[in-house]
Amino acid sequence: MKRSVRFFTWMLLICLCTFWASGKDRADNVYHAHENSSMKIALTFDDGPHPILTPKILDILKKHKVHATFFLVGENVKNYPDLAQRILREGHEIGNHTYTHGRVSERGFFEMRREIELCEAAIYEQTEYKTKLLRPPEGILDSKIKSISREMDYSVILWNIDTKDWAHAAPQSICRNVVEHISPGSIILMHDYIGFDSPTPEALELFLPILLERGYQFSVVSDLIGSY
């Protein structure tokens, strides 16, 4: 009997370790990363589409044959539908980043849900694409977001590598940060809109060749979180 209890305890510990190593909170369907054995990683961009930066980023990704996931703001999709369509046409993926990018802490449950619904509707209206990936503004994950994501059947996608392009970090600093911290299953946070003087395009040109040379495979997020 004691042996059976010990065996069960060890199996439970193994399962828990595997669970946490995956980078996923299974109860809430939340991902910061998703460890795998095939060198897959995901590159993500928030806050677009932007009329100047998004085309630059798409050109760079096309040049290096890299696919990414773009978490779009609904009102930007309505303003620049051609860019949302181009993102999909070139093999990338779209995620929901709410309609106005309002602060989660300043919105109640029903207002937050409406933000997500309006973004979903805007994306579908302009692209006929229905996303099931959600990234809350600023990555804030509270009880509202957890509950809404479960109700609406969204996977919440966060990250484990913050490039700090939003803080206008130097491209060389961004490159070093990514290269030093990358591992199979990483989700990289970048932005295709940060206001002005974006370091993102130059940083991409620095670290994409390095990671590709090291054998990393860039996957859209839905592919990454479905891999083992």
The two tokens of residue 121 are: 């509707």
> Contact at 8 Å (CB) between 102 and 67?
no
Please give the angle made by the CA atoms of 159, 164 and 169, to the nearest 5 degrees.
160
User: Active site includes 47?
Assistant: no
Alpha-helix residue ranges (DSSP H) falling in the chain: 2-21, 53-64, 74-79, 81-89, 109-127, 143-151, 171-181, 200-213, 221-224
> Per the residue annotation, which of 46, 162, 165, 192 is the catalytic one?
46
Q: For the chain, give me the number of helices (H) and strands (E)?
A: 9, 10
Q: Which entry of 34, 165, 191, 192 is annotated as an active-site residue?
A: 191
Among candidate residues 95, 103, 98, 123, the one with its CA nearest the CA of residue 113 = 98
Q: How far apart are CA 170 and CA 172, in angstroms?
A: 5
Neighbours of 76 (CB within 10 A): 25
191 is an active site residue: yes
Q: Distance of CA 180 to CAs 47, 163, 166, 176, 186, Å?
A: 25, 11, 19, 6, 12
DSSP 217: E
Show which residues are catalytic: 46, 191
